[in-house]
Chains A and B, each alone.
Chain A
Amino acid sequence: MLRISNKIRFYCKIAAKSDLKSKLDFTQLRHPTKVPQQPEPNAFPDLDNNTDDDPIDSKTIQLLERLSLVDLDSEEALKTLKSSIQFANRIVDIPTENVPALYTVLEKQQLQLRNDSVTEGNCRQEILRNAKITDEDYFVSPPGNIPLEQQNE
């Protein structure tokens, strides 16, 4: 959190310095930020001081590997995973009883509808250009899903 607020302060400094007429560039904020400059006091346990190491069992790791297609074999990857879980877990402490879930800030907006007419397509060359291997206008892929190799099996 400290790192994030540091970064915001950094952007604000740039915003203050930069020329307001320049093109839209998200690294250069043109308006004073609405993000609070000081973190709100909260009841979350402090991450940095949290040293208790919940071990993740190997079955869970294997499932996560399969779902995410990310290799969690190395010490480094495992550490990142653990800290991600710790970071996300803090949301559990927020009381949300009787609060309807907010899925999008656009909830009250009408969803844009499009008329039913063909306006795209017929661009096989462009579409296939992104593929590494093609054959007679098909994309070519490995057969089905190949599960990641499991080290403990």
Chain B
Amino acid sequence: MRNYLTIRRLATKPILAQEPFRKWKSVVGLEVHAQIASTSKLFSGSGTSFGAPLNTSVAPFDASIPGTLPVLNRKCVESGIKTALALGCQVNEVSMFDRKHYFYADLPNGYQITQQRAALANNGLMTFPVITPGQKLYYKSVKLLQLQLEQDSGKSLHDDHLKRSLVDLNRAGLPLMELVFAPDLETGEEAASLVKELMLILRRLQTCSCKMEEGALRVDANISINQEGDPLGVRTEVKNIGSVRSISQAITFEINRQLDIVSKGGRITNETRSWDAEKRCTVAMRDKEVLQDYRFMPEPNLPPLHLNLKPGSRSTSELLSVAELSEEIPELPEHTRQRLVEFNKLNAETAIILVNEPILLEHFMYISKSLKNLPTKIITNFLINDLLTYCNKLNLNLDDCTISSANLSDILNCLHLEEINLQAARQLIDLLHKNPNESVANLIDQHKLQQISNVHEIETFCRQAIANQPKAVQQYKKGKAKALFAIVGEVAKISEQKANMKIVVDCLENLLKTTAQK
């Protein structure tokens, strides 16, 4: 009672100071559904291949035929544990399965088997680099609240014309890991960076294909804004985000939409919105009228899942050992980056680009081993500035670029020995992509790509260039050093890009000096 009175008295006091302007903050939390890479489903023995003919990857259990029972897939538990360990989670000795009820045609049981009371793992932490264009690279850490195993639902096609739904149960019962992250993020870029890192980790572990286009990795984002010092604002949930780029775009759009509403004095309502990738905006989804009551209950057909947490233990046919699984975890992306920075003396940004593109990393490791004398900077520059740019120009996926590491190594070696110049090296990338079976040496011969380093030949080119560019020569002589580039460019043109530019520059400087002295 006394408490109540004091609060009343405080509240009636006049506000003495004007409230200072407080900045708006955005808060983003992600939920990721990753399909576990397995050959059979979570609880039944039907297949998992993407694009199988309609309703063929369906066991009686998946179609909810009475009398069928779930039997847990060992591989899925192993993959879940490995992922949890890689993300620094605490794996639970006992986890349990629950039924989450909702009535929908593509969920024939009327419930989804998931883990609610006791998940497979909790309390992880993910640290990842964030690169925002025009900003300094920084690392961000986000808590992973929970990692749980659950089933996927079937797929519905809605036929608005005939007012019916067509249901394919191939996806029903596919194994999923749901990863629930704490709302520790602030921007769309951070969210996209988190998902990128997660995809790298899952691919290294081979626990998920991460093909967002096939729905193997799905991201839902919870977004709210609040003023500094205030509790979190009302959040909206954005679903249907189909690519890494969309993650950043959708979240940035939603933050701005909310800021716009608030600045106009409006209120944000708790709703589910969908990302429209074509119109680049979020749109409200038709919401369920009442808050869904999922009526969680323990799954009576599955006893609790026990795991052996003892260090040094081994798995048995019935009891999986977390210690044994932890030995199977490969080097994680962050580790690779650190190794590249410390051992190969790369800078952090370059290391991030290489680790983001596993093919580039493979090339780099091969070339840096076979050409030990070559400075790593030359290799990474060539891979990132030339190979990656070439692929991007052709809109080619690096996985589809068939140039072997050995061929790239040969090109770099020729480049290093000054047998060819950079122009020729770039041309060779194109030639090798089109003729993957040719050797680098053959292609250089066939296309006459050898660099011209003969001093006399170069001198002839230079004299011609000087004659062709009298203006640039004059400017250079007046002290404008940059004018030399125009003359060098002329030499490149005359020599069909084959002249050794180092010698050309020396030669030009000499020639221009001597003519100046005359």
A residues sitting closer than 8 Å to B (CB atoms) are: 63, 66-67, 69, 103-104, 106-107, 109-124, 126-128, 130, 135-145, 147
Known contacts: A67-B295, A112-B72, A122-B56. The answer to whether A143 contacts B38 by CB under 8 A is no
User: What are 19 of the A-B contact pairs (CB < 8 Å)?
Assistant: A67-B295, A104-B303, A106-B303, A111-B303, A114-B40, A115-B74, A117-B40, A120-B61, A123-B58, A124-B55, A128-B55, A138-B55, A138-B167, A139-B105, A139-B168, A141-B165, A143-B158, A143-B159, A143-B164
Cross-interface CB contact of B63 among A63, A69, A127, A147, cutoff 8 Å? A127
- Complexed CA–CA distance, A138 and B306 (Å): 39
Task: For A104, give the chain B residue with the smallest CB separation.
Answer: B303
CB contacts (< 8 Å) of A112 on chain B: these are 71-72, 318
Q: How many A-B residue pairs have CB under 8 A?
A: 138
- Complexed CA–CA distance, A122 and B58 (Å): 7
The 7 A-B pairs of least Cβ separation, nearest first, read: A121-B46, A119-B45, A116-B75, A141-B105, A120-B59, A138-B166, A120-B45
Task: Give, as a whole number of angstroms, the nearest-CB distance from A102 to chain B.
Answer: 10
Interface mask (B269-302 → A, CB under 8 Å = 1, otherwise 0): 0000000000000000000011001010010101
- Complexed CA–CA distance, A111 and B65 (Å): 22
Is the CB–CB distance between B306 and A111 below 8 Å? yes
CB contacts (< 8 Å) of A104 on chain B: these are 298, 300, 303-304
CB contacts (< 8 Å) of B167 on chain A: these are 138-141
Task: Give, as a whole number of angstroms, the nearest-CB distance from A88 to chain B.
Answer: 14
Is the CB–CB distance between A114 and B53 below 8 Å? no
Is the CB–CB distance between A138 and B168 below 8 Å? yes
Residue B73 interfacial (CB < 8 Å): yes
Is the CB–CB distance between B318 and A110 below 8 Å? yes
Task: For A121, give the chain B residue with the smallest CB separation.
Answer: B46
Task: For B167, give the chain A residue with the smallest CB separation.
Answer: A139
Task: Give, as a whole number of angstroms, the nearest-CB distance from B316 to chain A.
Answer: 9
Is the CB–CB distance between B39 and A118 below 8 Å? yes
Is the CB–CB distance between B96 and A103 below 8 Å? yes
Task: For A106, give the chain B residue with the smallest CB separation.
Answer: B303
Cross-interface CB contact of B166 among A106, A114, A121, A139, cutoff 8 Å? A139
Known contacts: A67-B293, A127-B60. The answer to whether A139 contacts B55 by CB under 8 A is yes
Residue B424 interfacial (CB < 8 Å): no
CB contacts (< 8 Å) of B317 on chain A: these are 113
What would 19 more interface pairs be, CB under 8 Å, given A120-B60, A127-B63?
A103-B96, A110-B306, A113-B77, A114-B71, A114-B73, A116-B40, A116-B76, A117-B45, A118-B47, A120-B46, A122-B57, A123-B60, A127-B55, A136-B54, A137-B54, A138-B157, A142-B163, A143-B159, A144-B165
Known contacts: A104-B300, A124-B56. The answer to whether A140 contacts B165 by CB under 8 A is yes
Interface residue tally on B, bucketed by range: 35 or more
B residues sitting closer than 8 Å to A (CB atoms) are: 38-40, 44-47, 53-61, 63, 65, 71-77, 96, 101, 103-105, 156-160, 163-169, 289-290, 293, 295, 298, 300, 302-306, 317-320
Is the CB–CB distance between A103 and B298 below 8 Å? yes
Is the CB–CB distance between B54 and A130 below 8 Å? no
CB contacts (< 8 Å) of B303 on chain A: these are 104, 106-107, 109-111
CB contacts (< 8 Å) of B163 on chain A: these are 142-143
Task: Give, as a whole number of angstroms, the nearest-CB distance from B485 to chain A.
Answer: 62
- Complexed CA–CA distance, A110 and B319 (Å): 7
CB contacts (< 8 Å) of A66 on chain B: these are 290
- Complexed CA–CA distance, A122 and B465 (Å): 74
Is the CB–CB distance between B158 and A111 below 8 Å? no
Known contacts: A127-B60, A135-B166, A137-B55. The answer to whether A114 contacts B72 by CB under 8 A is yes
CB contacts (< 8 Å) of A135 on chain B: these are 166
CB contacts (< 8 Å) of B74 on chain A: these are 113-116
| Best-buried of A116, A124, A142 by chain B (most CB within 10 Å) | A116
Is the CB–CB distance between B293 and A121 below 8 Å? no
Task: For B306, give the chain A residue with the smallest CB separation.
Answer: A110
CB contacts (< 8 Å) of A145 on chain B: these are 103-104
CB contacts (< 8 Å) of B166 on chain A: these are 135, 138-140
CB contacts (< 8 Å) of A110 on chain B: these are 303, 306, 318-319
- Complexed CA–CA distance, A141 and B317 (Å): 42
Task: Give, as a whole number of angstroms, the nearest-CB distance from A34 to chain B.
Answer: 21
Task: For A128, give the chain B residue with the smallest CB separation.
Answer: B55
Is the CB–CB distance between A130 and B39 below 8 Å? no
- Complexed CA–CA distance, A137 and B163 (Å): 18
CB contacts (< 8 Å) of A116 on chain B: these are 38-40, 73-76
- Complexed CA–CA distance, A1 and B53 (Å): 53
